[in-house]
Structure 1
Amino acid sequence: MQQLNEDDRVRTGTSRQQAEVRQQRRLTAVGRQTEELSEFLESLGNRIESLQASNTILEGTLDHPPRFMDYARTRNLTSECLAFLIVIERRVDNLPEDIRGPFRDILDQRTVSLWSSLLECSLTFLRAISEEEHLPLGSREVFLREIKTLYDAHGILSRPEFEDRLPPDLLTRQRSAERILNEIIDRAPRLLDLGRPQPEEPAGEIWTGR
């Protein structure tokens, strides 16, 4: 009987040690996840700042109007940000629930900042198009893409979880987008003719002017 009790104590001790090892491994893995996630969120923030800076370039000046390559660079950066956002969101969802909250909060901030920036970039392009006497070559596809961006931005920024995070002037910018879209549609209905191919714009050609 004494031997059986000793065996039970050994098994209990071994099980406890194994549980402690598993718990330590879990904590170590979670620590690595949170550290990496913090770096990802910071990197996403830097990319969003670059996107905001590119919007300033898109606005151009009288002497240096933006070129198509400026727009293309902005779209490439947009694709990077959106892809990175998906990766980060998946990692946040995979965190233990008890530590997920602060990371979700930062992710929501980044999401609002990103889509607000995309909305502003789209408005910048559409303002330039609306001021043109004649639409630049190749602007049809870009125009249609920006309509989709504005639609997505409105849908995402209208989510209830973002209601308290929206910039105060967001509704004003959305109304501005609607007005500009109406102006372009009135002046250039051919842009909505999806069945008619349009000539492509040569790379590097100025797509807006004053």
Structure 2
Amino acid sequence: MEEEKDRMIERIHLVGNSSILSGSNLGKEIDSCPVVRINTAPTSGHEQDVGGRTDARVICGGLQMEAQTGWLSSISGETLILYPTPEDVRKNAQRYTSEDNSLRYLRSGALEAWAKFLDKSPLEESPTSGLYGAWFLSQVAEQVHLYGFGFYESSESHYYWKDVKSDHEGHEPHIEKLILKNMSNVLIKMKTPNEIKNSGSKIT
């Protein structure tokens, strides 16, 4: 166990897509260690708030589908962490991913560990890419710091880079928030919209 711990990354920052990042001025802090982003989240023009570094991305099942091959092939020089999908969907993502990217996905024992994690959780709906990313990274890092996780609490835009309202149909963000808070090596670094209303501060 000590040998395994020695191989773990000290800290990783997982950056969500919430509009609570807008005006946060957290870019330098976010970029201070390896950064993982979620799906298609951009950095250009938003560096002051979200940073400019991207070492990896968590890719949801929808972005692994045939219709997204153009986007997949446009990503270069990043590690792509694939959300668990049926084998044919994963192979499609592999087929269209640029050769200078590195793919990571769950196999056998790790896939069973993810399934056990979900079985023990109170979730009844599908987990988000954010929850999967946090769990995945918690297996390889001593600390996972989360930025830009709004848990759908804001009535404003769901994304920091575009004005799009989004509901949480098919997900349970309030339960995921509790799950993440109870993970020993995961820390939510930004207050959620409901917490901001009470404190006036975005940093915990």
TM-score by length of 2: 0.29
- Bigger relative contact order, structure 1 or 2, given CA contacts below 8 A and separation 6+? 1
Structure showing greater radius of gyration is 1
**The structure with more strand, counted as a fraction of residues:** 2
